[in-house]
Structure 1
Amino acid sequence: MPDDVDDMLASIIEAVEWGRAGRVDEARERLTELWGRIGPDGDPLHRCSLAHYLADLQDDPAEELRWDLRALDAADVLTDVRAQRHHSALTVEGMRPSLHLNLADDYRKLGRPDEAREHLALARHAVPVLPDDDYGRLVRGGIARLAEELGVPA
């Protein structure tokens, strides 16, 4: 359970839950509205979280890529201190495998295998920081599946 959920993160989490419950259009609209409130220079944790989840709600792979790139850009300026105000175990480096995995999959969907392999390599490089829990196993499994799909040796 998060240590500190501010109002914006609570709104993001609520919209994510809408998407998981099948209310994809409502979730997409809400997250887009929240993005307008956060802005491109807002809190990096808010930007990273929102963009990461909004990418998953896109029908167009190019839009998914655009949001995943925004998530990575926000992670690049996010600090562990800020992340750990939300959850004491959260680190920026611990987020990177998932962020790069998503980008690799976006590039695969767009028929850009070289860029997909580049981000897959970055995801693999960051795997040692993943915890040995459900999240870590989920990301490791996604990396393995995408590597197989891209024909990248294990």
Structure 2
Amino acid sequence: MRPLHLSRRALLAGGVAALTACSSSAPTSAPTPQATDTPESRLLKDLIAEKERTIALYSSLIAGGAEKLVPFRDRHQAHVNELRKHVVVTASPLPASGTPQPTASATPKRVSLSRLRDLEAKAAELRTRQLADVSPGVAQLIASIGACEAAHVVALPRSL
């Protein structure tokens, strides 16, 4: 039997299929939202705040004409929507000190895409460390989010 070799196009098509599924990934059973300030609820609140900053960065680029990024931003919004089902958020937490806030600047789009790619790669890598002390359902959700972020790294356009 001849070994199967996938072309780059076939691999990319598979990546696109994974991307379309990433926003619908969710734990099989949603736990009751946590109202207490447990380590898991703090992690979820921090993750929501991080995702909101990422959405703001994508939105600033989209407002500047980068419509190709709408599906990427929308997947992050789907993540936030799902995360909010697992924790009671009374108000958006303040960003961590030292965390640069996205702004709609005159930064060239190529640099912005590079920044997005780096942001997605670092986020995906962080997700594996966040799985240690969370419930199985939340671990599944965080792992799915990390997989989507990793897919974004390779799927983001090289130019706009």
Identify which of structures 1 and 2 has the higher relative contact order when contacts are C-alpha pairs closer than 8 Å and 6+ apart: 2
The TM-score with structure 2 as length reference comes to 0.30
Larger gyration radius, structure 1 or structure 2: 2
Whose helix fraction is larger, Structure 1's or Structure 2's? 1
The TM-score with structure 1 as length reference comes to 0.31
